[in-house]
Chain A
Amino acid sequence: MTPLYAAPLPAVDQVQVRRAGPGLVVTATKDIVTGDPYLAAHFPGRTVYPGVFVLETVRQAAIAALGEGPGGLAELSAVCSLRFAGAMHPGERLCAEVTITPVAGGGFRAAARCRRADGSDVARMTLEFRYPGGAGA
């Protein structure tokens, strides 16, 4: 999936969205490949999927699920917490599960758990999103 907004790389290969109560559960995968933009430079001769690109995978998955709203496309407004458990390398598959819930006063909270295909932990994060013209923007 190539996003139609500024993004360092296509950070989501597949995404599925389902409703869960008042919110959404988004599952996304990304295969780590050396040919993606920026990766040859992180680091030269020793490719590591940058931690901020795990954040990017979750950002793109959440934007795919939230789509357009008041004022345009949903946007990341805060990284409340973000913790990495391990680095990812070419040939591995990143699997993200993102639970998105609306918050009082406008906007959304997205709690994500990211793992490798074998289930081992890669990262956990809690983010906030909003629509540019929405409440809380």
Chain B
Amino acid sequence: MREYGELRSILPHGPQMLLVDRVEWLAPGRALRAVKAITGSEPCYQHLPPGLPRERYAYPASLMLESFGQAAVVLWASGPGELSLDGRLLMFAAARDFRLEGRAFPGDVLRHEIEFERSIADSGFAAGRIWVGDQRIATVGSVIAVVRPASLLPARATARGS
């Protein structure tokens, strides 16, 4: 179990981009189950005028994949001495076979079931499924994250809050 406050310490994302709310079950370094609640107050819905059909509120696949990837990183970081994000940046490197079988809407809770497959050097590989209730809405063949020294990227201190 990892509550939101702990996830804030594990992942470098600011609250608006932190797309995991809770880890419900964790087998360190091997598998986890994590949830992300979708609400209509999220930024991805703010530009929509009233009167649109329901389908227009399907949670964007890009954010669904980001949420899954963040949960996968929490799993990676739970392994024995595998991953330190201190002074390093986490990057999404690749994905394969992310297949959407259903949709999620405001009010739904995404549930990620993830298995960590392996890490090679600074790359971590994971796979899994995404559920809403008892309906599987996506399968993820693999996501690959890499960590890089933060010094490789220029600091953008002026970008904060702008």
A132 and B13: CB pair below 8 A?
A: no
A6 and B48: CB pair below 8 A?
A: yes
> Within 8 Å of chain A (Cβ to Cβ): is B53?
yes
Which listed segment binds B: A15-23, A40-48, A98-106, A113-121? A40-48
A8 and B60: CB pair below 8 A?
A: yes
Contacts of B43 in A (CB 8 A): 8-9, 37-38
A-B contact count (CB 8 A): 147
B55 and A46: CB pair below 8 A?
A: no
**Closest chain B CB from A12 CB (angstroms):** 13
A44 and B48: CB pair below 8 A?
A: no
Q: Name the residue on B nearest A45 (C-beta).
A: B160
A1-31 interface mask toward B, CB cutoff 8 Å, 1 = contact, 0 = none? Answer: 0111111111000000000000000000000
Q: Name the residue on B nearest A130 (C-beta).
A: B100
B77-111 interface mask toward A, CB cutoff 8 Å, 1 = contact, 0 = none? Answer: 00000000000010111111111100000000000
B17 and A42: CB pair below 8 A?
A: yes
B45 and A6: CB pair below 8 A?
A: yes
Question: How far apart sit A46 and B62, CA to CA, in the bound complex (Å)?
Answer: 21
**Closest chain A CB from B141 CB (angstroms):** 9
A41 and B153: CB pair below 8 A?
A: no
A40 and B56: CB pair below 8 A?
A: no
Q: Name the residue on B nearest A126 (C-beta).
A: B96
Question: How far apart sit A51 and B94, CA to CA, in the bound complex (Å)?
Answer: 9
**Closest chain B CB from A17 CB (angstroms):** 21
B65 and A55: CB pair below 8 A?
A: yes
A54-92 interface mask toward B, CB cutoff 8 Å, 1 = contact, 0 = none? Answer: 011001000000000000110111111111100101100
Question: How far apart sit A40 and B17, CA to CA, in the bound complex (Å)?
Answer: 9
**Seed contacts A5-B57, A45-B160, A72-B55; 9 additional CB < 8 Å A-B pairs:** A9-B43, A41-B16, A46-B153, A50-B92, A79-B65, A79-B96, A81-B96, A84-B91, A87-B91
5 closest cross-chain pairs (CB), A and B: A41-B14, A41-B17, A51-B92, A41-B16, A37-B43
> Could you list which residues of chain A lie within 8 angstroms of chain B, going by C-beta atoms?
2-10, 34-35, 37-38, 40-48, 50-53, 55-56, 59, 72-73, 75-84, 87, 89-90, 132
